[in-house]
Amino acid sequence: MDKKILFNPLGDDSLIQRKIIKGNSTNIFNLNNVKYQWANHLYRNMMGNFWIPEKIDLTQDKNDYNNLTFDEREAYNGILSFLIFLDSIQTNNIPNISDYITAPEVNLILSIQTFQEAIHSQSYQYIIESILPKEIRNSIYDKWRDDKILFERNRYIAEIYQNFIENQSDENFAKTIIADYLLEAIYFYNGFNFFYLLASRNRMMGTSDIIRLINRDELSHVIIFQQLLKEIRNENPNFFKDEIIYEMFEKAVKQEIAWTNHIIGDRVLGITKENTEKYTKWLANERLKSIGLKPIYKGFDKNPYKQLEKFADTEGEGNVKANFFEGTVTSYNMSSSVEGWDEF
């Protein structure tokens, strides 16, 4: 893989010659001529989903946090730590990917993704500062180094990214794109479910509203990497090896289940180890099908948390709407908060 040339007067931006990778881009954002229309559509959706975490009141959440069980607080803190790592590493890594993307319309949405990941990091800071006692705040940021299971979980994805930075081979870039898809499409969602289940019991409602908005952004990121996988495969049929994709999926699913059982297990009302396995393997099957591959977990064809769909599929003026479990964004509007929890 060669990094694209920043100043490239001899580049060819014609639609016929344009490619996701290995093209000859001038890097001029001529968005009047767009080859990948899905990127143009997604750009408009992502721009319409601007939001600010401080618009959501977390006053009641501070009282709710003190009334959580010990295990619920441990899960709350641990999941926050994991989400902080995911969004932090994505904020830093997405520009590395964009350096090798030679379609300006795709570079554009990757820039927006980087911005959104930064907003998510700011959101977690707002949650931590508003809700958690001072004496444990720093421990949330350090937990990924202190917890062995979380460290191994984070190291797997981070080392794939780092390997590409150190060796820009086609194979390492392919693994990086797959790893990005796994992070966006698999890693977040057992954590999201935890916050939604708390909200279903009228606890930590402000936190769950922020998570719901983050959830909407992450759905658009799922679509970005779904499309990148499919477009690169279409233009370079041998670039991705199916066996590598399946191997990485199996590793990610195993780690996701192990981490969720470690931080939640059977200790939080509404979540069980059995449902964690069912949900994670079902979700992996859905994500594989969305990139044109056969599912690998036989019998895992139902979502045990089906009742949570309404938490991430909100309609009405001023709200956002997305199909959370299928990972397709249907519409976005300017948002500052989300209503509708009382309908659950």
Instruction: Based on the residue annotation, tell me whether 156 is a catalytic residue of this protein.
Output: no
- Considering the candidates 36, 124, 126, 305, report the single residue annotated as catalytic: 124
Q: Are 192 and 209 in contact (CB under 8 A)?
A: no
Sign of CA dihedral 140, 146, 150, 154: positive
Residues 6+ apart with CB under 8 A from 267: 71, 75
Is 250 in a helix, a strand, or coil? helix
Taking alpha carbons only, the member of 280, 328, 332, 330 closest to residue 305 is 280
Alpha helices in 48-133 (DSSP H): 59-67, 70-98, 104-131
d(CA 252, CA 238): 23
157 φ/ψ angles, rounded to the nearest 5 degrees: -75, -40
d(CA 121, CA 69): 26
Tokens matching residue 323: 């199909």
Q: What is the total residue count of the chain?
A: 344
d(CA 32, CA 133): 51
Residues 6+ apart with CB under 8 A from 201: 269, 270
- Give the 3-state secondary structure of 286-304: HHHHHCCCCCCCCCCCCCC
323 φ/ψ angles, rounded to the nearest 5 degrees: -90, 100
For residue 322, the cross-strand partners are: 329
Q: Is 334 exposed, middle or buried (0-12, 13-18, 19+ CB in 10 A)?
A: exposed
Give Rg (Cα) of the chain: 20
Q: Which residues are catalytic?
A: 124
